Amino acid sequence: MIKFDLKNLGSQNLEGNIGAYIEAVKTRKQGFYKIVDDKKTAKAVLKFAKTARKKYKHFVLLGIGGSSLGPICLEQSFKHLFKEKKLIVLDNIDPVVLAETEEVIDYKTTLFLVVTKSGTTPETMSQYFYFRNKINKKKLDPKKHFVFITDPEKGLLRKIANEEKIPSFEIPENVGGRFSVLTPVGLLPAALLDIKIEKILSGAKKMRDQFLSKNTKTNLPFQLAKIQYDLAKKGKSINVMIPYAQKLSRMADWYRQLLAESIGKKFNLEQEIVNVGITPVNALGVTDQHSQLQLYNEGPNDKLFIFIEVEKLKPILKIPKAHKGNKDLDYLDKNITFNQLLQIEKDATASALTKNNRPNFTIKIDEINEENIGALFMLFEGATAFLGEMFNINTFDQPGVELSKKLTKEALLKL
Ligand code: PA5
């Protein structure tokens, strides 16, 4: 269950020509909101994962951006933070991290997930070359140690998968990288970690139905986009996402890419230069109360704060008495829980921002479960699609990223 608490926003107009926005999104021919109906892929992912969970000790995911941030978020949301990692996500080519990975894996019991929509991303492909070379040298069968997640037709990985019969899954042609978490990009790593992907999809599906409904009172993706757009127009063009749940810290990382790459654009749909964008910033309650909050309360008033609150954080842990007679810390001697303290600190932070005229609101979920995480993914994807229409830009391309990829390739070819 997801709901918005908008009391700190003041009078915010949540109405608008929602029907026109829904129709406009549909004309973009994007698949991100349709993939939740794809039961066949989910079934194939579950079947593959069931066998793989028994066969391998480590899963190493090679991928970057939209190909890694969803899996990282899912692992953080549902798996133990400190026990040995079964899923290692390599979204960087720093050689130190590659070397450290090799120190903990045994190639014989490792499955590499190579995730790249384009099949041309230099970071991911260089990692693949590295580990493929090792697998070849060790005379292990690549079919047993790699699974590719890539475009159904295009790119080198698809070609290798076809030629060498390496197991593979498809990222539908009409689903872009940062919108792909509900395809095998997020579903396969999640299923390998025994996370219930059917529930993620069913939660996302419920939110998708809201996203396509013309009722502004219940369409949360529309409401979110409208708040963001109206406030951006009033100079609040930085959005700070603050989950008050450490398990959701990587949701803010995933969202940062979605918002930045989708809405930061030079041209509008008429090809006029507009240079629009909303700058996403991540924070984590309570940690960043002691790093960023001073700026947020007293610095430039150019931000919208989006809190995420979990109503029933589990377990409930009491703060016990440990010393008698410490007057300075009497306020902790109230027989309260960490859960209450977290909530009180969140409310205090939101009140302080409100007192300083800093717009903020809260997305509330009842608990961290698969349905809610799936719904959050769809909430943010749907809102981003609406936001792009409001800004009149192409939400789904990323020419700024492509340019840097192109310049990297040119520099490499000159060597
Ligand atoms: O959203 C996007 O399309 C990008 O951010 C990609 O996810 C990122 O560049 C990685 O691309 P690929 O999946 O093709 O390797």
Same domain, 102 and 141: yes
- Mark whether 175 and 113 lie in a shared domain: yes
Which residue has its alpha carbon closest to ligand 1 atom 8? 65
Residue 335 has pLDDT above 90, yes or no: no
Of 261 and 402, the structure prediction assigns the larger pLDDT to 261
Q: How far is the CA of 237 from the centre of ligand 1 (A)?
A: 24
Residue 238 maps to which CATH number?
A: 3.40.50.10490
Q: Are residues 91 and 233 in the same domain?
A: no
Q: What is the pLDDT of residue 289?
A: 94
- Do 46 and 188 have their domain in common? yes
∠206-172-53 over CA atoms, to 5°? 80
230 and 109: one domain?
A: no
- Asked whether residue 218 falls in the same domain as residue 169, the answer is no
Would you say residue 326 has pLDDT above 80? no
Residues 6+ apart with CB under 8 A from 68: 61, 89, 90, 91, 115
CA of 376 to the centre of ligand 1 (A): 21
pLDDT for the residue 348: 97
- For residue 415, tell me if it sits in a domain: no
407 part of a folded domain: no
Q: Which is catalytic among the residues 261, 371, 381, 389?
A: 261
Q: Whose CA is nearest to atom 15 of ligand 1?
A: 116
Q: Establish whether 290 is a catalytic residue.
A: yes
Residue 107 burial (CB count, 10 A): 16
Residues with CB under 6 A from ligand 1: 64-67, 116-118, 121, 124, 176-178, 261, 398, 401
Check whether residue 186 and residue 237 sit in a common domain.
no
Tokens of 53: 């969970």
User: Closest ligand 1 atom, CA of 171?
Assistant: 13
State the burial class of residue 144 (Cβ atoms within 10 Å of its Cβ: 0-12, 13-18, 19+): middle
Known catalytic membership, residue 261: yes
Mean of pLDDT values over 123-140: 98
Give the torsion sign (CA, 319, 325, 328, 333): positive
How does pLDDT run across 233-248, given as a tens digit for each residue? 999 999 999 999 999 9
pLDDT of residue 3: 97
Secondary structure (3-state) at 369: coil
- pLDDT score at 190: 98
**Mean pLDDT of the residues in the chain:** 96
Domain annotation covers residue 409: no
The residues facing 25 across adjacent strands are none
The span from the CA of 265 to the CA of 276, in Å, is: 5
Strands 360-365 and 273-276: unpaired
Q: Based on the structure, what is the number of domains in the chain?
A: 2
pLDDT in tens, 383-392: 999 999 999 9
Residue 326 domain-assigned (yes or no): yes
Would residue 411 count as lying in a domain? no
Same domain, 227 and 346: yes
Q: Residue 102 pLDDT > 90, yes or no?
A: yes
Give just the sign of the alpha carbon dihedral 114, 120, 121, 125: positive
Write down the pTM of the prediction: 0.96
Nearest CA to ligand 1 atom 9: 65
How would DSSP label each residue in 180-229?
Answer: -TTSHHHHHHHHHTT--HHHHHHHHHHHHHHHT---TTT-HHHHHHHHHH
**Does residue 245 sit in the same domain as residue 325?**
yes
Residues 311 and 223 in one domain: yes
The pLDDT value given to residue 323:
80
Verify that 165 and 279 share a domain, yes or no.
no
Instruction: Give the model's pLDDT for residue 85.
Output: 86
The residue whose CA has the least distance to atom 3 of ligand 1 is 177
> What domain range is 290 assigned to?
2-28+199-400
- Expressed in angstroms and rounded, the spacing between residue 310 Cα and the centre of ligand 1 is 30
Query: Are 288 and 246 in contact, with CB atoms under 8 Å apart?
Result: no
